[in-house]
Amino acid sequence: EREHVMNFSPGPAKLPDEVLVQAQKDLTNYAGTGVSVMELSHRSKDFESIIQRAEQDLRSLLDIPENYKVLFMQGGGTGQFCAVPCNLMDLKPGRTADYIVTGCWSEKAAKEAEKYGSVNLVLPKTKKYTGIPPESEWNLNPDASYVFYCANETVHGVEFQFIPETNGVPLVCDMSSNILTRQVDISKFGVIFAGAQKNIGCAGCTVIIIREDLLGRALPNIPAVFCYNTMNTNNSLFNTPPTYSIYIMGLVFNWKKENGGVDGMEENSLVKSGLIYDVIDNSSGFYVCPVNIDCRSRMNVPFRIGSAEGCDVLEKKFLDQAAELGMIQLKGHRSVGGIRVSLYNAVTVEETQILADFMKDFLNKHR
Ligand code: PMP
């Protein structure tokens, strides 16, 4: 039994109760094998069926076309910041890639890519990530090997509500913090990657969805474990994969299928984020979300309390009182401060409503 704690963590994040209950059973005796799911050989029939089922379920949830490969890798989102340029920089001569930087994660990705080629910043440089300039103002390079963007900036709370148009240049997307929270047309992408620890499982595994014609163009000195082609040829079993993380992911995919699929996740995400944004918008400036309305994240809602100066005391009080009521992990990222509410798929509408009610109470007591 879990304590009644409401975990609004940005990641590693809450997992559905049903998933944890199943994992508890399989921990000591997986499907009658007499061994823990953690003890299964990655070459065993049992694990083979775990990884194959996970892939099939992901394919059906996201409606992934046949000419796309699914890879399970290690190294997290940060590993992919390196894997992407190593695998794709050579798609065109000149080794240059476009980066749409809308927050600290795409900023980190661009910085990593500079080690392997030249990086063109599509948007003017900024440190204040609060919006996405209109596409008409973007500086896209038609000769870029690929265009990189982050669908949801986990720290700054900036989320794309559209898929960028790249006029044929392969589009690479970091979906670490919003994969499987809305239906997307996979055929618009060259590569999608996502770490597991927010919307799809526990830390350890990173999912890659890649259009097959983009395989096989890696830089010659690429580390083998980061080579998409090598991973694909070996069905993600080139070396020992993060077996437990893949297993948990499979349980989460199954849970999503049983809970309305991606449409269900999308609907819930709108309801939950709407509850929090409504309180912010009706607080007469007591709660301040700096992000433009058209790109507010449905997954991570960052806000400050009161004016920028002197809000620290109030924010600390907010966090302390919330924690007393069982609402944890609400502290904003150390780089931006304030509060951040993360609303990944396992967080329920009920939990979010309790938080929204607390925010209203807190507002009434302190404004
Ligand atoms: N991209 C995004 C959007 C993220 O939120 C994170 C982690 N919070 C990362 C990349 C980095 O992932 P990891 O810690 O798995 O390397």
Residue type, 153: E
Distance 132 CA to ligand 1 centre (A): 20
Tell me the pTM: 0.98
Neighbours of 333 (CB within 10 A): 16
Beta-bridge mates of residue 70: 209
pLDDT at 225 over 70: yes
Question: Is the predicted pLDDT of residue 3 greater than 90, yes or no?
Answer: no
pLDDT at residue 309, as a whole number = 61
Q: pLDDT, tens digit, for every residue of 175-213? A: 999 999 999 999 999 999 999 999 999 999 999 999 999
- Longest Cα separation, the chain: 62
Which uninterrupted H or E stretch holds 208?
strand 206-211
pLDDT in the model for residue 310: 64
To the query of whether residue 198 is one of the catalytic residues in this protein, the response is yes
Catalytic status, residue 92: no
pLDDT 10s digits, 256-314 = 999 999 999 999 999 999 999 999 999 999 999 999 999 999 999 999 998 666 688 89
Average pLDDT, integer, range 39-67: 98
Give the separation between CA 187 and CA 363, rounded to whole angstroms.
Answer: 45
What are the backbone angles phi and psi of residue 157, rounded to the nearest 5°? 70, 30
Work out the burial of residue 177: count CB atoms within 10 Å of its CB; fewer than 13 is exposed, 13-18 middle, 19 or more buried: buried
Per-residue model confidence as pLDDT tens digits over 108-153: 999 999 999 999 999 999 989 999 999 999 999 999 999 999 999 9
pLDDT band at residue 1, thresholds of 50, 70 and 90? Answer: low
d(CA 229, CA 315): 48
Going from the Cα of 153 to the center of ligand 1, the distance in angstroms, rounded, reads 9
Question: How far is residue 174's CA from residue 176's CA, in Å, rounded to a whole number?
Answer: 6
Q: Is the pLDDT confidence value at 236 over 90?
A: yes
Paired residues of 120 in beta bridges: 98
Residue 261: the pLDDT is 98
Instruction: Tell the residue nearest (CA) to atom 7 of ligand 1.
Output: 77
Query: Cα–Cα–Cα angle for 295, 72, 110, nearest 5°?
Result: 45
Nearest ligand 1 atom, CA 150: 3
Res 241 pLDDT > 80: yes
* ipTM score for this prediction: 0.99
Q: Which of 156, 176, 181 to mutate to test the pocket of ligand 1 (most atoms within 8 A of CB)?
A: 176
Helix, strand or coil, per DSSP, at residue 246: helix
Q: Which of 72, 78, 150, 191 for a ligand 1 pocket mutation test, highest count of atoms within 8 Å of Cβ?
A: 78
Mutate to test the pocket of ligand 1, among 104, 177, 226 (most ligand atoms within 8 A of CB): 177
pLDDT at residue 311 in the model: 82
| Tokens 């918008």 found at | 281
Instruction: Pick the catalytic residue from 26, 174, 255, 256.
Output: 174
Query: Which of ligand 1's atoms lies nearest the C-alpha of 153?
Result: 3
28 C-alpha to ligand 1 centroid (Å): 31
Average pLDDT over residues 326-355: 96
Distance in angstroms (rounded) separating the CA atoms of residues 38 and 15: 18
Find the mean pLDDT for residues 329-351. 96
Alpha carbon of 335 to ligand 1 centroid (Å): 15
| Structure confidence at residue 162 (pLDDT) | 98
- Distance in Å, CA 197 to ligand 1 centroid: 9
CB 300, CB 157: distance < 8 Å = yes
Ligand 1 cavity residues, CB under 6 Å:
11, 76-78, 105, 150, 154, 174, 176-177, 195
Say what the pLDDT of residue 127 is.
86
Average pLDDT of the chain to the nearest whole number: 96
174 is catalytic: yes
Q: Please tell me which residue in 26, 90, 105, 256 is annotated as part of the active site.
A: 105
Ligand 1 center to 202 CA (angstroms): 13
Q: Which amino acid is at 63?
A: D
CA dist 93 and 167 (Å) reads 18
Q: Is the pLDDT of residue 245 over 90?
A: yes
Report the percent of the chain where pLDDT is more than 90.
Answer: 95
Find where tokens 């103002």 sit.
137
